[in-house]
Structure 1
């Protein structure tokens, strides 16, 4: 076997890879391991006495040290020991299974009482499993492990027993329960503190009409809630309601409910939905929405949504949305809101922005003729029907004398009409070797980038003599 080796100054990544170790600190430094991490102390003896040679924090106890020193140059090859300590809150407690296996010796204690004792030198791995009932609250588990000679490995785990036939212990009642009622939205937000039970399945939220004893489960109805917050809308009847939270474990045991917290709902009568919603493209390639107000007289505003996302709230019966993506379909809905905050059903309309996102194809047939007054370009007009104008690119060779070379392209300032097929670029006849390219830009602003490998370039040498560098 290959032995896991740990340096006293090992990195976190190396420690994780070697068995779940999260941190490593030289023995002289103080180490604090936050629950539920184990604090591991390595000793260069089998009595686990004196100052630890290495202290780490482990997420699990699962080590295979093989035949060598687990902490290079820190511990002896044989006859070393490790103490793991963990203190955590077990909530309501309950039945647990403890498992331990090791080569060589291992002892597991709960609150100072030894529960597993396999303290002997072995040439093979020894194992033991015990079932325990842990009381509620905080408890400390201590694992002592030693290896005398030969191979060394150790595993320890503790897990709740979640069978309904075994676990009859209720979870603790959730603490920190509060409710906040938003009258505008008619929403009750319940919050509470997470329970500590390891076998917790989640929470259930209950509501009842004040003056009755019949509870209705309004949260965690099909499976327990895993979050510690829940939002619910009570019937908008103007009546008083009480809420409470109960925890439930994986065995199906439910806690006693929290103290009941009351709220009084408000009366809500929503206005009718906006009438005749229409979506029409406007001159800015956006959309103009128009509708007729519902018959309700207390409408204060309208909420406008695009693809389910609120984009604006307006008081008029119209809304404009600009700069939409060409060729994209949008689903618009509009809801009326009255002065009390009641929101109507939605009026819906879809809208497809004209155009596309595809640049015109590369220009073909490009020719460049050098002249005394510049370079005369000719090309085959684009066959595409939505060309709005043409742009000219010129590229010059770049060499900074330090090994950086290449063609550098820039766009000339002229915009040529959709019927153009030639262009004279006035430039000095200085004999330079340059490149020219032409791109078509469509109505929607799409055009090929100069760096696109599909772009067609033409190379030309200007008349005249190159200027001295």
Structure 2
């Protein structure tokens, strides 16, 4: 040891100044650097002998450097050294590959024993890989690197050799795990401390019942915890954890950790209800259940059908036939196939199908009913017809009426049933509903059909809301619909008003049109020449009763529009003109006139108050395709002679409806 160097490192230096002793403080050392394993502690030295105080100390996650200049402040470009060291737990140890390369010198030590020696000044990178067996426990790796001249490069790795032919060292047994049992979820949770082996692949958890020597693997994980669901039978189970590496080596098991399971619970709140399509089942879930066992039995307890739904708390059985009775029970099943006790049996009967599309037609003191059944809604027994004067129809208060049924089979296989209730009162409103009955079973009621029975001599109600509107093509009548079921037709009357204004006036007329029930409009197409007319409408039922006998009839008075041309047509025309409506408008035709060389067609224009020429033709007909709809058109046709004169016109009119 160099004594001078040792003195220089002392804590106090004494010096003389003017006869006094002065104390001079030495340089303060930097705080000790601590690096958490497996991070390296790295030290930089300004020499190649690693002597003296390091110029810099820090932490480095890997040995992999390439420097072209000084690697740290205070170091020379050449002739410096760097030392990496790490102390870590290798667990069970095993075969490792130490790989080193450098430019210039590099040495690798395990617990102070040199394993790699590439200590020389080189002009190129040198490397070496050494296979070593690291004993179990904690060991220190050290890498010394020096650069004498030029570029500086260094790299070092240590990796476990995981080939099954090389690695025969099993991991250490994990520390004794913490084990807890959750009786609500019927689960066991295990947790343990992580192994230190670098080639660790994961952990396997095993379970065995008390009294059984063989173990069953219940899970594998790379984490340090696992949750298992043992059979909820009330038995005692033991657990152990084993570590395994990438070569397939498995450690010994941890000490047996016991838990006592609870008995798998029977599902609670089990309910069964009848629905139209069969039966609806529901229950409370059991947390430890992997699935459930649902069984359907007949009246003798023989299982006729079963289900094994997983992770659900409801089920619909749509395989029951209409009117079929069944019983159901359910048990929980865990992941090992253990089953809880069954619930008590719950009985249900799929309801019979209710009749559909019920209609009611009024008769005199009677009602004719019709309803439909479908093939898939069988079976059918007898039908019960309920009649009530109040809504809703309630089977406990409604009258059950005698109604002999018959049916007709429709094209789709459905049946259309019918019957007549002949015990009804006249002029009474009834509400009907029909049920399907088979033995003691009764279906839900059909839809409700409401009808008011007829009176033999009661006429229909008088027509209301009658209006009359004058148009360019005649008179438009409109009135309120009559919805009485026995209405047969309407009779439209047209007449003239008798009596002076201010005095009582009456409409004197005769039947003008006959219209079917369901119609509430009438168009009286007639020449709008300004006449005053009156209208009224009579309602007549199937028995021929007329509403006009109920009292005074409401009539409407209307003044026609007067579209008559203001220019009169002269008399004495040799032409007889006809006009009728055609698809293309108005078709005009006339007779031939001797000595005529052609004919001229005119149409009245109410805006200019004159007949305007439409066309000249040698034919004896003409189609006016420009005539507008919704009004009356007036025409003249004249014969034209060789001297250019025209005859007295023949006149005619035509009405084009909207």
Give TM-score scaled by structure 1 length. 0.53
Structure 2 residue 244 is matched with structure 1 residue 242: no
Secondary structure of the equivalent of 1:211? coil
Paired with 1:275 and 1:37, the residues of 2 have a C-alpha distance of: 66
Q: Which runs of 5+ in 2 are unaligned?
A: 1-27, 288-310, 315-330, 332-339, 343-658
Paired with 1:302 and 1:129, the residues of 2 have a C-alpha distance of: 59
Residue equivalent to 1:266: 262
Paired with 1:143 and 1:226, the residues of 2 have a C-alpha distance of: 32
State which of 31, 35, 59 in structure 2 corresponds to 1:33: 35
Deviation of 1:270 after TM superposition, in Å, equals: 3.1
Residue equivalent to 2:430: none
Residue equivalent to 1:211: 211
Paired with 2:54 and 2:60, the residues of 1 have a C-alpha distance of: 16
Residue equivalent to 2:75: 75
Deviation of 1:185 after TM superposition, in Å, equals: 0.8
> In the superposition, relative to structure 1, how do residues 180 and 29 fare at CA in structure 2: closer, same or farther (>3 Å)?
same
Secondary structure of the equivalent of 2:179? strand
Deviation of 1:39 after TM superposition, in Å, equals: 0.2
> In the superposition, relative to structure 1, how do residues 276 and 35 fare at CA in structure 2: closer, same or farther (>3 Å)?
farther
Deviation of 1:269 after TM superposition, in Å, equals: 2.8
The answer as to whether partners of 1:207 and 1:241 remain within 8 angstroms in 2 is yes
Deviation of 1:196 after TM superposition, in Å, equals: 0.2
Deviation of 1:292 after TM superposition, in Å, equals: 7.9
Cα deviation, 1:203-238, whole Å, max 9, x if unaligned, reads 000001110112100011xxxx11110000001111
State which of 247, 251, 258 in structure 2 corresponds to 1:255: 251
Residue equivalent to 1:177: 177
**Mapping of 1:361-440 within 5 angstroms?**
none
Residue equivalent to 1:138: 138
Deviation of 1:178 after TM superposition, in Å, equals: 1.7
Deviation of 1:177 after TM superposition, in Å, equals: 1.1
**Mapping of 1:143-222 within 5 angstroms?**
143-220=143-220
Deviation of 1:136 after TM superposition, in Å, equals: 0.2
Secondary structure of the equivalent of 2:127? strand
Residue equivalent to 1:464: none
Cα deviation, 1:343-368, whole Å, max 9, x if unaligned, reads x9xxxxxxxxxxxxxxxxxxxxxxxx
Paired with 2:108 and 2:273, the residues of 1 have a C-alpha distance of: 75
The answer as to whether partners of 2:104 and 2:122 remain within 8 angstroms in 1 is yes
The answer as to whether partners of 1:39 and 1:56 remain within 8 angstroms in 2 is yes
Deviation of 1:293 after TM superposition, in Å, equals: 6.3
Cα deviation, 1:344-393, whole Å, max 9, x if unaligned, reads 9xxxxxxxxxxxxxxxxxxxxxxxxxxxxxxxxxxxxxxxxxxxxxxxxx
> In the superposition, relative to structure 1, how do residues 235 and 51 fare at CA in structure 2: closer, same or farther (>3 Å)?
same
The answer as to whether partners of 2:95 and 2:167 remain within 8 angstroms in 1 is yes
Give TM-score scaled by structure 2 length. 0.38
Paired with 1:276 and 1:145, the residues of 2 have a C-alpha distance of: 84
Paired with 2:231 and 2:155, the residues of 1 have a C-alpha distance of: 54
Runs of 4+ deviating beyond 4 Å: 272-278, 291-294, 332-335
> In the superposition, relative to structure 1, how do residues 192 and 156 fare at CA in structure 2: closer, same or farther (>3 Å)?
same
Larger radius of gyration: 2
Residue equivalent to 1:227: 223
Deviation of 1:333 after TM superposition, in Å, equals: 7.3
Q: Which runs of 5+ in 1 are unaligned?
A: 1-25, 279-290, 304-331, 345-469
Structure 2 residue 48 is matched with structure 1 residue 46: yes
> In the superposition, relative to structure 1, how do residues 333 and 265 fare at CA in structure 2: closer, same or farther (>3 Å)?
closer
> In the superposition, relative to structure 1, how do residues 277 and 109 fare at CA in structure 2: closer, same or farther (>3 Å)?
farther
Pick 1 or 2: higher relative contact order, CA cutoff 8 A, min separation 6.
Answer: 1
Paired with 2:202 and 2:271, the residues of 1 have a C-alpha distance of: 42
Paired with 1:80 and 1:277, the residues of 2 have a C-alpha distance of: 91
Deviation of 1:264 after TM superposition, in Å, equals: 1.4
The answer as to whether partners of 1:27 and 1:51 remain within 8 angstroms in 2 is no
Paired with 1:53 and 1:252, the residues of 2 have a C-alpha distance of: 46
**Mapping of 1:15-34 within 5 angstroms?**
28-34=30-36
Paired with 2:76 and 2:149, the residues of 1 have a C-alpha distance of: 10
Paired with 2:258 and 2:51, the residues of 1 have a C-alpha distance of: 58
> In the superposition, relative to structure 1, how do residues 211 and 63 fare at CA in structure 2: closer, same or farther (>3 Å)?
same
The answer as to whether partners of 1:107 and 1:115 remain within 8 angstroms in 2 is yes
> What's the Cα RMSD here?
3.0
Residue equivalent to 1:86: 86
The answer as to whether partners of 1:204 and 1:219 remain within 8 angstroms in 2 is yes
Cα deviation, 1:251-308, whole Å, max 9, x if unaligned, reads 0000000001111111113316666799xxxxxxxxxxxx9864xxxx7x999xxxxx
The answer as to whether partners of 1:95 and 1:134 remain within 8 angstroms in 2 is yes
Deviation of 1:29 after TM superposition, in Å, equals: 2.9
> In the superposition, relative to structure 1, how do residues 263 and 44 fare at CA in structure 2: closer, same or farther (>3 Å)?
same
Paired with 1:196 and 1:143, the residues of 2 have a C-alpha distance of: 22
Structure 2 residue 110 is matched with structure 1 residue 114: no
State which of 52, 55, 58 in structure 2 corresponds to 1:56: 58
The answer as to whether partners of 1:277 and 1:292 remain within 8 angstroms in 2 is no
Instruction: Figure out how many residues of one structure are paired with residues of the other and give that number.
Output: 265
The answer as to whether partners of 1:62 and 1:155 remain within 8 angstroms in 2 is yes
The answer as to whether partners of 1:118 and 1:126 remain within 8 angstroms in 2 is yes
The answer as to whether partners of 1:274 and 1:334 remain within 8 angstroms in 2 is no
Residue equivalent to 1:446: none
The answer as to whether partners of 1:27 and 1:55 remain within 8 angstroms in 2 is no
Paired with 2:274 and 2:228, the residues of 1 have a C-alpha distance of: 31
Residue equivalent to 1:371: none
